[in-house]
Chains A and B, each alone.
Chain A
Amino acid sequence: MRTPARPRLLPIAAALALALTGAALAGCSSTSSGSSGQAADKPAKLTVWIMKDSLTDGYLQRFKADYEAGHPGTTLDIQIQEWDGIGQKVTSALASKDAPDVIEVGNTQVAQYAASGGVHDLSDKTAELNGKDWIPGLAEPGKIDGKQYGIPWYAANRVVIYNKDLFAQAGITAPPKTRDEWIADTQKLNSGGNDGIYLAGQTWYALAGFVWDEGGDLAVKGSDGKWKGALDTPQAQAGIGFYKQLQALGKGPKDADEAKPPQAEVFAQGHTAQLISTPGGANAIIKANPALKDKLGFFPIPGKSADKPGAVFTGGSDLVIPESSKHQAAAYEVVKALTGDKWQTEMAKEMSYVPNRTSLASALAGNDGAVAMAAGAVNGHATPNSPNWAAVEANNPIKQYMTQVLTGTDPATAGKTTSDAITKALNSTS
């Protein structure tokens, strides 16, 4: 019986050495061979990444047709991206040699991409794009060190979409103005096989609104510049308490967010009285069930008192052009068209989004959803202003916190763990 000792390692070492030389060789040969790539100036096929449900298929088709007609030789390949795992995807794209040419990026996430250096600096175009008039909530996150990387595209905040028929059946004539009325109405609606409201357990920005209503926040920045998660505060506990009360008035799953299953499709089945969504969500509902076209109404999320609507998260998107796009000049033309008067106005009408410039706000006149949204926007809030916030969303501890509390965990205990996780994520170096 020989004991394993040094001599036995020899062959392993030899094999490793062999492998290493092989690796070096393989590495050399393949890097040197790879020098392809089209000419950068030739107008060609532009790839545009748009987030799922940002825009209707119809809008995108019209834009594509119109743009291609106006720019002969250019074709647009518009690809719809899922929110799930988008951070990883966009990063991989920015780091690749042949990135998509235009990418839609959420306003809470644009800062980190701008900071990464993978996004083309568009500062010299701001004048041409009427940058002075941009909505600050979209322009600021896209700007780093005085340079504009993200171009504001649209803003939106959540409202309540309701089914007029079900409201009428329940004898509710006017939408609720306060939380108490809201709960009372929803209780009335939640009967006879109908859901008072479809609220998934992990709709975290709705929770954020309720917490802001109580005077709390998701995280606060201390005087020392360090962030601290704030879901363990009494305000946060009051916020989740209300969420729990509301969520129980329907059959929303406690362990999923609004995308699984897509809440618009649930609502489209016609047995759900209310839904928290951007007004544009109505498009998805109508697509799934055209019969509901004239049955949808909108009202701002009720606040604690009638004089002030509920706090809402001001969401929205910027457009960026990756540094590694092979057609940056052509890509800019697409950005210009999408953020220009014509398509902004059309978008405002179709999606009820707030246009990227205040001067275009008139486009929303006479739009029920937009009116409700504008009413709520008065009390708009943003997520904690840190480039690390995207990291919190990427592996969102707030969602898990919500599920835990909704299924019976003590809010104080769950809030403490979650706040610690947020603290850790926000204070880490990037």
Chain B
Amino acid sequence: MSTAPPPARTRVWPYLLVAPTVVGAAYLLVYPLLRNLLISIQHFRMAELIHGGAPFVGLDNYTALLGDPEFWTVVRRTLAWTAVNTALITGLGTLIALMLVRLGRRMRLAVMSALVLTWATPVIAATTIFQWLFQSRFGVVNWTLDQLGLHQFHDYAWFAHDGSTFVILVTLIVWQSVPFAALTLYGGLTTIPGELYESARLDGAGPWQTFRLVTFPMLRPLFALVTSLEVIWTFKCFAQIWVVSQGGPNGATTTLPVYAFQIAQSLHKYDLGSAASMLTVLILIAALVTTLRRMYRQEGEETP
């Protein structure tokens, strides 16, 4: 359904329209990224930050990072962190979305309101709430577990152990992120025509088959989008981890963004921190390259 080629005058318009975006991004995103790249190939520590005059050191910072076993531990941990969170968020999000469709009107409204409430909770507030919930002395979680007979949780110091800190952070992230996934997928589910389910039922398909043969294929792009957004968001997640544990205890919750921040801001090794963050971007792009390619193809196929 191609139309006649637009007159020349309108050809300038799209470029004018995206110009503010491009200029803004150039100054506030691309330029800082280039500065970051520059810092990552310099010797740039506290003195250089204050005085300038940083000498170039080629790829030394990158070799130093890549040769450090700790870096690889952090990378593996980050991937595990992202995988666990994304799996839980999309899994729970899907289940809740499927549940929402089946609920009665009032119950659905109640659940959706609760989800929206969670979604609206600002990160810093949520982080503070979780610290209070899991506080060792007066925290309500310890009290509840103690009441349930798990007395080892009396005054249990959650933030003192690698495992439990990790669990709390995952809980926090999942709690905050599920509403987005669930509500988005629910919105998608409501667009699927009822006839499709009807015919699936007539064909004798069970709930799982219906999901696999009807729901999932219909919502494939939506699933892809939610999953890739969650991958991006959890991979990059910083504020929650930093405020709750600063990457501890003993580095157990140090993911790449936290690692880069620590090296740069706490140890004043801005050069290594910049190198780490450039690598973070590369890893993220590599992880999402299939999604990006698919997106790019889709854009080509559809006419605007």
Whether the pair A19, B266 counts as a contact (CB closer than 8 A) is no
Given contacts A4-B296, A400-B248, contact A88 B266 (CB under 8 A): yes
Whether the pair B249, A400 counts as a contact (CB closer than 8 A) is yes
| Residues of chain B in range 4-53 having any CB-CB distance to chain A below 8 Å | 22-23, 25-27, 30-31, 34, 45-47, 49-51
* Chain B residues within 8 Å of A400, by CB: 248-250
* Chain A residues within 8 Å of B45, by CB: 430
Whether the pair B27, A91 counts as a contact (CB closer than 8 A) is no
For A22, give its contact among B22, B50, B265 (CB under 8 Å).
B22
B49-65 near A? 1/0 per residue, CB < 8 Å: 11100000000000000
Is A176's beta carbon under 8 Å from chain B?
A: no
* Chain B residues within 8 Å of A91, by CB: 46, 49-50, 268
Given contacts A22-B23, A417-B250, A430-B46, contact A404 B160 (CB under 8 A): yes
- Chain B residue at smallest Cβ distance from A391: B267
For A20, give its contact among B30, B46, B50, B158 (CB under 8 Å).
B30
Is A177's beta carbon under 8 Å from chain B?
A: no
Report the interface size for chain B: residues with CB under 8 A from the other chain.
Answer: 36
Is B284's beta carbon under 8 Å from chain A?
A: no
Is B161's beta carbon under 8 Å from chain A?
A: yes
| Residues of chain A in range 10-36 having any CB-CB distance to chain B below 8 Å | 15-16, 18-23, 26-27
Per the bound structure, the CA–CA distance linking A116 and B270 in Å amounts to: 14
Is B286's beta carbon under 8 Å from chain A?
A: no
Per the bound structure, the CA–CA distance linking A395 and B44 in Å amounts to: 20
Is A381's beta carbon under 8 Å from chain B?
A: no
Whether the pair A253, B136 counts as a contact (CB closer than 8 A) is yes
Whether the pair A255, B267 counts as a contact (CB closer than 8 A) is no
* Chain A residues within 8 Å of B250, by CB: 397, 400-401, 404, 414, 417
Is A304's beta carbon under 8 Å from chain B?
A: no
For B50, give its contact among A19, A116, A253 (CB under 8 Å).
A116
Is A254's beta carbon under 8 Å from chain B?
A: yes
Whether the pair A23, B30 counts as a contact (CB closer than 8 A) is yes
For B262, give its contact among A19, A21, A395, A428 (CB under 8 Å).
A395
A112-127 near B? 1/0 per residue, CB < 8 Å: 1001111000000000
Per the bound structure, the CA–CA distance linking A66 and B67 in Å amounts to: 57
* Chain A residues within 8 Å of B201, by CB: none
* Chain B residues within 8 Å of A16, by CB: 30
Per the bound structure, the CA–CA distance linking A253 and B138 in Å amounts to: 12
Chain A interface size band reads 35 or more
For A391, give its contact among B22, B26, B30, B268 (CB under 8 Å).
B268
For A253, give its contact among B27, B157, B262, B265 (CB under 8 Å).
B157
A337-376 near B? 1/0 per residue, CB < 8 Å: 0000000000000000000000000000000000000000
Is B220's beta carbon under 8 Å from chain A?
A: no
Per the bound structure, the CA–CA distance linking A298 and B31 in Å amounts to: 58
Is B159's beta carbon under 8 Å from chain A?
A: yes
Whether the pair A116, B300 counts as a contact (CB closer than 8 A) is no
* Chain B residues within 8 Å of A201, by CB: 157, 160
Whether the pair A255, B157 counts as a contact (CB closer than 8 A) is yes
Whether the pair A430, B157 counts as a contact (CB closer than 8 A) is no
* Chain B residues within 8 Å of A8, by CB: 296
* Chain B residues within 8 Å of A112, by CB: 46, 268
Is B297's beta carbon under 8 Å from chain A?
A: yes
Is B102's beta carbon under 8 Å from chain A?
A: no
Whether the pair A23, B46 counts as a contact (CB closer than 8 A) is no
B136-165 near A? 1/0 per residue, CB < 8 Å: 110000000000000000000111110000
Is A246's beta carbon under 8 Å from chain B?
A: no
* Chain B residues within 8 Å of A115, by CB: 47
Is B106's beta carbon under 8 Å from chain A?
A: no
Given contacts A403-B249, A404-B249, contact A255 B159 (CB under 8 A): yes
Main secondary structure of the interface of B (DSSP, over half): helix
Is A251's beta carbon under 8 Å from chain B?
A: yes
Per the bound structure, the CA–CA distance linking A249 and B122 in Å amounts to: 39
Is B293's beta carbon under 8 Å from chain A?
A: yes
- Chain A residue at smallest Cβ distance from B131: A260
Whether the pair B297, A4 counts as a contact (CB closer than 8 A) is yes
Per the bound structure, the CA–CA distance linking A23 and B33 in Å amounts to: 11
* Chain A residues within 8 Å of B248, by CB: 400
Whether the pair B160, A403 counts as a contact (CB closer than 8 A) is yes
| Residues of chain A in range 371-415 having any CB-CB distance to chain B below 8 Å | 391, 394-395, 397, 400-401, 403-404, 406-407, 414
* Chain B residues within 8 Å of A85, by CB: 265
A221-260 near B? 1/0 per residue, CB < 8 Å: 0000000000000000000000000000001011110000
Per the bound structure, the CA–CA distance linking A117 and B50 in Å amounts to: 7
For A407, give its contact among B161, B247, B269, B293 (CB under 8 Å).
B161
- For the complex formed, measure the closest distance between the CB of B287 and the CB atoms of chain A, giving whole angstroms: 18
- For the complex formed, measure the closest distance between the CB of B167 and the CB atoms of chain A, giving whole angstroms: 15
For B300, give its contact among A2, A23, A406, A414 (CB under 8 Å).
A2
Interface hub of A88, A116, A323, A401 (most chain B Cβ within 10 A)? A116
A136-172 near B? 1/0 per residue, CB < 8 Å: 0000000000000000000000000000000000000
Per the bound structure, the CA–CA distance linking A88 and B296 in Å amounts to: 41
* Chain A residues within 8 Å of B297, by CB: 4
* Chain A residues within 8 Å of B262, by CB: 395
| Residues of chain B in range 89-120 having any CB-CB distance to chain A below 8 Å | none
* Chain B residues within 8 Å of A394, by CB: 266-267
For A117, give its contact among B23, B51, B136, B160 (CB under 8 Å).
B51
Is A46's beta carbon under 8 Å from chain B?
A: no
- Chain B residue at smallest Cβ distance from A417: B250
* Chain A residues within 8 Å of B137, by CB: 251, 253
Per the bound structure, the CA–CA distance linking A224 and B90 in Å amounts to: 55
- Chain B residue at smallest Cβ distance from A251: B137
Per the bound structure, the CA–CA distance linking A36 and B294 in Å amounts to: 50
Per the bound structure, the CA–CA distance linking A15 and B31 in Å amounts to: 14
Interchain residue pairs with CB less than 8 A apart (26): A2-B300, A15-B22, A18-B22, A19-B25, A19-B30, A20-B34, A23-B31, A23-B34, A26-B26, A26-B31, A27-B27, A88-B266, A112-B268, A115-B47, A117-B50, A118-B50, A118-B51, A251-B137, A254-B160, A323-B50, A391-B268, A394-B267, A400-B249, A403-B157, A425-B267, A428-B267
Residues of A within 8 A of B (CB): 2, 4, 8, 15-16, 18-23, 26-27, 85, 87-88, 91, 94-95, 112, 115-118, 201, 251, 253-256, 323, 391, 394-395, 397, 400-401, 403-404, 406-407, 414, 417, 425, 428, 430
